[in-house]
A and B are shown apart, each in its own frame.
Chain A
């Protein structure tokens, strides 16, 4: 057992998967460079020493190398491709959304695309174009599984599950959760460290985690917002409101079993999302809850999310963009008639 942050846990997951399976390789920008950074956020730092032939450093050509990852996956490799910032996924949308996601279906189930895609997201003082939460963009794309871990334990276990899954899997990583130590640490980083077991494990894709039990309201969140939800729950507990925090952690498929069990118990559901409120993942979860468990609700489903604006730069504005524990707590109080 050792204590690790998300960046280290992901690094260990990648190294272990590459040791376990010679088909696994990494492909991305500024990876595998001796003396380099290990990607934008150190996740692949130093892996080139052990795997000099399997850390493929690419030109700046996201559409090209995501397509190449797909092609390599089709011929039996297990590529892990990454972008430096999630926003750059949009450069590769054709390969992700028209090729990787559809190949299985178009082939009548004869071709597999075991492709893992990694993407750092979150508003972190860089202005609008290195900041978006892109989960929403892929939720309505059948053929891609989506995971979004909030802890180092889940990051390692979900990445391993993604590598072994056999389908295109997108793993979103939040820049403020990578770690709170080291030269490329983000200002405002949140502690997402976990005790990581020494033995091999996976976190199954499609299973949410109940982070905190409570009978009064269900708060559903993921990535950084799972931490905001827990902080809010602690504040609310002191006021006599017990919130159950469900870390969705897998966004496609969504775990309606766990969400449903909680909503049936509490009768109240709040979804917390970093990103514009319109057309977000929260909208989908809200509709899903209403359709499945509407009869159990004591009040309508609510969302706390960002305004419908690009991510602003000035810290005071960015902080207002990103939901926080205070806004989550305020929404819960309103739902509970306090």
Chain B
């Protein structure tokens, strides 16, 4: 499926924002891209255990949504969580430590790539069974509502998850109870290798949400400003008790579904067209076009990010693994009564 949004980020859209904010968006997105590329290389060289699901090409959805959140808001993620985690404020180091299976990782080496999270930063370990995090996010939003707290939950999932019962049950309950959750559907056109056109007759996945009586919008998910603006509007609604909101963020995975996927199911012309829609490339061009930012400034941002990630890689490579004493700990919280 070819891109349906114009490639250029509109000038009047980019003119609305401070230079520093735009540079921050670029830095956040570049950090995700660089992190994922570095991790891919670590896997290829055999330095990292496990498997990975990467998000190159989808940086604008994570960054656009998280920029619309407050620091103390919550986010739930999926088997493809690296970008969401970085955008939510987890450091490259704490994630890399986890990917290397270190006791110093954000989940003490017990989670791994598909369960990255840090509750202190508002992100519980990612839930890697498709759709499984959607009821959990709705439940977190229910708690926030019952506790009369101002926070909201951003719930990320892919196009594939909208066929799960968990999606339908949770969106419906969030709808009938007006829960403060933004459902962020990253429609990257493929659930693993299956094209979205093969799993629904609907022309748009947002119709699956409007069926539950909630506001649902389709957004250019590779234009970080478009994502940010829609997410901000959704967040305001949720905080006002008028949630939930569903955002269909149209994007494209520029990498395989997982570690060894050569993407033979994606037509070459389609891949080429979407490569041109790379969200980093589009923001970079728009920034340079605006004239306030120079190539050397962007390169300085990129260099600083690369150096920080390289330093984190060097630390994470040498970090200690868990000991066998850690094997059976952390199954239960210490009981407040009895055994």
Contact = CB atoms under 8 A, between A and B. Distances in A.
Nearest to A145: B332
Contacts of B137: 71
Nearest to B149: A75
A108 B330 contact: yes
B321 interface: no
Contacts of B213: none
- Give the interface centre of B110, B117, B332 by most chain A CB atoms within 10 Å: B332
Interface string B113-143: 0010111100011010100101111111111
Contact of B111 (A69, A99, A107): A107
A62 to B, nearest CB: 8
B170 A161 contact: no
Contacts, number: 176
A278 B82 CA distance: 43
A279 interface: no
- Give the interface centre of B110, B119, B339 by most chain A CB atoms within 10 Å: B339
A72 B134 CA distance: 12
Contacts of B165: 63-64
Contact of B172 (A64, A77, A94, A110): A64
Interface in B171-185: 172-173, 176-177
A105 B169 contact: no
Contacts of A69: 139
Nearest to A71: B139
Given A111-B125, A143-B332, A67 B337 contact: no
A94 B106 CA distance: 24
B241 to A, nearest CB: 15
B306 to A, nearest CB: 28
B18 interface: no
B293 interface: no
Interface residues of A, number: 53
Given A59-B173, A165-B335, A107 B107 contact: yes
A167 B111 CA distance: 19
A108 B166 contact: no
Nearest to A75: B143
B2 interface: no
B338 A205 contact: yes
B136 A108 contact: no
B23 interface: no
Contacts of B110: 105-108
A169 to B, nearest CB: 10
Contacts of A253: 339
The list of the 10 closest CB pairs from A to B, nearest first, reads: A71-B139, A67-B135, A64-B169, A204-B338, A108-B108, A68-B139, A109-B330, A206-B339, A61-B169, A75-B143
Interface of B: 74, 105-111, 115, 117-120, 124-125, 127, 129, 132, 134-144, 146-147, 165-166, 168-170, 172-173, 176-177, 329-339
8 contacts: A61-B172, A94-B166, A98-B127, A104-B332, A142-B331, A161-B337, A161-B338, A202-B337
